[in-house]
Amino acid sequence: MKFIKIKDLLLVLSSALLLALSFPKFNLQFLAWFAFVPFFLALDGKKLIERCLCGFIFGATFFSIVLYWMFNISVPGMILLVIIMSSYSLIFSVLMPFSYRKKIFSVLIVASIWCVTEFLRSMLFSGFPWALLGYSQHLNIPLIQISDITGVYGVSFIIICVNFCIFRFIKKDKLNKVHAIVTLVLLLVFLFYGHSKVREDEKGSKELGVAVIQGNIPQHLKWDDAFKTRIIDTYANLSKDALKFSPKLIIWPETSVPGILQFEKDMGDSLKALAMKNQTNFLLGTIREENDNYYNSAALLSKEGEIVKNYDKIHLVPFGEYIPFESYFTSLRNSIDKPIGNYSKGRDYTIFRIDVQHTKDFRSSIVKEISFFKFGCLICYEDIFPGLVRQFVLKGASFVVNITNDAWFGKTAAPYQHMQASVFRAVENRVPVIRAANTGVSCFISDKGLIINRVFENGSDIFVEGFCVNRIKVKNKRHSFYTRYGDVFIVFCFIMMLLPFLPRKKVT
């Protein structure tokens, strides 16, 4: 290529490939710890145009591999998304050399620049915090515990620090020992903190029996009226099987009700009867209509057979559930070859509440007690947004539910990549996360990020029909640092990123 040498191109491509292999389905998480080294070598000493090309090619290659499943949804959409995502690695490539102005801090500055670019792509243009670097370590339980302070970005930070140290050792930098000591101390602190959190006991927790239902309804049948009865029967029969284990809450996935529940009298009556007969609460994914507006919603059907509360999805999928600025581009909908919803945005961070009555022996007497449980519900990909999940916990949720329909993605790595985000939301906020997905992955995640149970049939956890019941442990405790203060760590990273641009003191 004219502006990039073949050697540098191969270095960039190898970095992108190594990093992609650290994500599902490969899950070779150890590769992330040195995946950036070839990329850093390619950037070293290069002119601006070369760095821009290296950064863009790195991003385009990585995201093309990781987001390959987007081909099942929209090829133009995937191309546009890859271009947007690649612009952030381009920005990183432009800013990285400035870190050398403060050589002694350069390892921290480089890591900070990466974290700021990740934060920006989590926020700008509706945000798409998918496959963040820290997510590659979702199975490294001790390391990810730091997320309850730093969010996922703290894990990204330490990975970049290690990569940069290896790079500087290869370049035989004079300060490589200083950088290595700083990085090693940080890593040991992260791991020590993580191990101490993992060992914390579960005293003071209340238990709640919950069932998740995975209907495995093919996407092309979900809205076919001819299959409406079959769909409801599938979920109802699975729920009846789950009820044998006496759960107090049964969760159906996103839009599992094939219609608008409030207008489906026969369907609603059968569900109410099921709830009342078994004295069990149901959380149902449905469409809701109000004042000619349609919402992607979750409805809580109480054990008394009443819809007590609804949550309307707040963060809609652009070009999936709505078209941005459609009033200005009226013909855009007709020019897109995929069906696009016309949903309205929810406004409230709804907190659901259920009560569970149980009895226990106390001084030879039978005492009845009632425990109350509050939870928030995230629909579809809302769980990939840390700030959104944090708001539900701040408002009183002691556990979080994610109902989703990942059938669009097919039998790809996408459902597993989606699940990675849920692991971090659990750790960040120190609350259990429960996932109910139409085609999987439906599972229970502890407040330490452990996947403790999942729907698993015929050797697979996706595109299978089944249910899973688990007793989650809910604690009444103080909010985590991250829940209380949010992305304070990113403020630190932003300050570190600006450090090379501060004026130097003049020597007189």
Which residues does the annotation mark as catalytic?
A: 254, 313, 380
Question: Alpha carbon 58 to chain centroid distance?
Answer: 23
Which tokens go with 403?
């109902």
By DSSP bridging, strand 281-290 and strand 249-251 are parallel
Q: Tokens 């790595």 label which residue? A: 413
- Give the closest residue to 164 by CA, choosing from 61, 43, 55, 10: 43
Q: What is the C-alpha separation between 81 and 88, in angstroms, rounded?
A: 12
Which tokens go with 442?
């439906």
Please report, as a single letter, which amino acid is at residue 444: F
Q: What is the C-alpha separation between 82 and 321, in angstroms, rounded?
A: 20
Contact yes or no for 483/471 (Cβ under 8 A): no
- Give the closest residue to 411 by CA, choosing from 436, 435, 441: 441
Q: Tokens 């987007």 label which residue? A: 70
Helix (H), strand (E), coil (C) string for 132-161: CHHHHHCCCHHHHCCHHHHCHHHHHHHHHH
Cis peptide before 25 (omega within 30 of 0): yes
Cis peptide before 464 (omega within 30 of 0): no
Which tokens go with 146?
């730091």
Q: Tokens 């070859």 label which residue? A: 337
Which tokens go with 266?
């026969």
